[in-house]
Amino acid sequence: MSIALKEIYSRMYLIRRAEEKICDLYPEDDMKTPMHMSMGQEAAPAAIAVAFGDKSRVVSTYRSHAPFLAQTRNVNKFFCELYGKINGTARGRSGSMHLADPERGHICSTAIVGAGLPMALGIAFASKYKSDESVAITYFGDGAIEEGGFWEALNAASLMRLPLLMVCEDNEYAVHTKKNERRGFVSISKIIDAFDCLYIFDDSNDAEQIYRKALAAKQVLHKEYRPVFMHIKCLRYLEHVGIRNDIEDEYRFPSDKKFSLEYDALKIMKIKLSGFYDSRSIGALEAGIDEEINTAVELAKKSALPKIAELTSGVYFD
């Protein structure tokens, strides 16, 4: 377990520090792409990525940084894409909202709420069709439950018994609209219970607990060919899009600030990790990641922009 925890922490730390680096550098205005920051929501993507490993095939949302970095650890391509450089994930074409690294299992991220679910359904279908034991994992916010595509995908995955892990990152905000202004339903769990789909809940922000729940989900997905819905309560630290801190703004509940201070996902994991490793070894792990991030940013800054002639290339395959 300690090795898994260390791996989870290392991915969470990578996400947090990479985003802090973005916060430092965004005002330079060289990264011209709308950033929907993951800060505060690192626990689930890191825990799930470690639980499923290279069998994961992930579709995430515009809040893509945590799922992308947790799954791929490809910090070089990440920063190169944010800077619009040719060695980015999509040669600078896609930016923050459409990060993809299919070879490392992050298939797509989409800027349309709920649009990743139908695609992930197809990835799960292919997994079952080919019996390759891969699992489609799709991230979405609680706002996606209001979209038609969510119901269609949930119904189809339940009916067709597909290995689809639906990870609902429930931060209770859709852009700036609170849940009570959006939800005509009273309970997410009751919605899921009405389908042939396993419901798993977590409000701990504790990556170890999420990791254990993900391992349980893995059994159901693989052995029963049954979809799983993981309902993860979490807190978005920064604004919907951009790098300002949202929790300080008045429309947030005071409890949000308290939660962010007392239940910070990184703090929780660091305390756990210190039960297994001394501070020097954790410090070395962190320093290594800091170095990785600095190297990636340097690489991104000095890398080349795409040639103008690339504009219309690759629209079609062949």
Partner 1 sequence: MTELTYCEAINKALHIEMEADPNVFVYGIGVPDKVKIFGTTAGLLERFGTRRCFDTPLSEDAMTGLALGAAVSGLRPVHIHIRVDFLLLALNQLVNMISSYTYGSGGLVPVPLVIRAIIGRGWGQGYQHSKSLISYFTHIPGLIVIAASSPLDALGLLRAAIQSNSPVIFLEHRWLYWAKEEVSDEFPIIEIGRGKIVKVGKDITIVAISWMVVESIQAANILNEMGIDVEIIDPRTLRPLDLDLILNSVSKTKRVLVADCDWINSGFSAEILSLVSENIMGELISPPMRVGFADAPCPTVRILEDEFYPNAGKIVNLVEKIFGREITNFDGLKIYSHENKFKGPF
What track of x and - describes contact with partner 1 for positions 18 through 57 (by CB under 8 A)? Answer: ---------------------------------------x
If one asks whether residue 120 binds partner 1 (CB under 8 A), the answer comes out as yes
**According to the binding rule CB under 8 A, does residue 76 interact with partner 1?**
no
Beta partners for residue 36, in sequence order: 242
155 is an interface residue for partner 1 by CB under 8 A: yes
| 127 binds partner 1, rule: CB under 8 A | yes
94 binds partner 1 (CB under 8 A): yes
Beta carbon of residue 299, minimum distance to partner 1 (angstroms, whole number) = 17
- Which of 45, 141, 149, 163 is in the footprint of partner 1 by CB under 8 A? 149
In the complex with partner 1, the residue whose CB is nearer, 155 or 204, is: 155
Among 8, 139, 170, 121, which residue's Cα sits nearest to residue 61? 139
Instruction: Considering the complex, state which of residue 6 and residue 91 has its C-beta at the smaller distance from partner 1.
Output: 91
Asked whether position 141 contacts partner 1 by CB under 8 A, the answer is no
Residues 261-276: b if buried by 16+ CB within 10 A, e if exposed: eebbbbebbbebbeee
Count residues contacting partner 1 (CB under 8 A)? 42
Asked whether position 285 contacts partner 1 by CB under 8 A, the answer is: no
In the complex with partner 1, the residue whose CB is nearer, 97 or 266, is 97
Using the rule CB under 8 A, is 305 a contact of partner 1? no
Q: Which residues, other chains included, contact 236 with Cβ-Cβ below 8 Å and sequence gap of 6+?
A: 37, 39, 40, 41, 63, 171, 173, 246
Which of 86-94, 222-230, 272-280, 295-303 is the region at the interface with partner 1 (rule: CB under 8 A)? Answer: 86-94
Nearer Cβ to partner 1 (113/266): 113
Shortest Cβ 7–partner 1 spacing (Å): 26
β-pairing, 106-110 vs 56-61, is: parallel
Please report whether residue 118 would count as binding partner 1 according to CB under 8 A: yes
CB of 114 to partner 1, least distance (A): 9
- Using CB under 8 A as the binding rule, whether residue 195 contacts partner 1 is answered as no
Selected range binding partner 1 among 93-101, 176-184, 231-239, 269-277, rule: CB under 8 A: 93-101
Contact 55, 104 (CB under 8 A): no
- Residue from 123, 145, 192, 297 binding partner 1 (CB under 8 A): 123
Instruction: Please report whether residue 215 would count as binding partner 1 according to CB under 8 A.
Output: no
> What is the sign, positive or negative, of the torsion defined by CA atoms of 13, 14, 17, 20?
negative
Q: One symbol per residue from 218 to 257: x for binding partner 1 (CB under 8 A), - otherwise; what is it?
A: ----------------------------------------
Instruction: Decide if residue 131 touches partner 1 (CB under 8 A).
Output: no
Residues that bind partner 1 (CB under 8 A): 57, 59, 90-91, 93-94, 98, 100, 102, 107-108, 110-112, 115, 117-127, 129-130, 136, 148-149, 152-153, 155-156, 159, 313-318
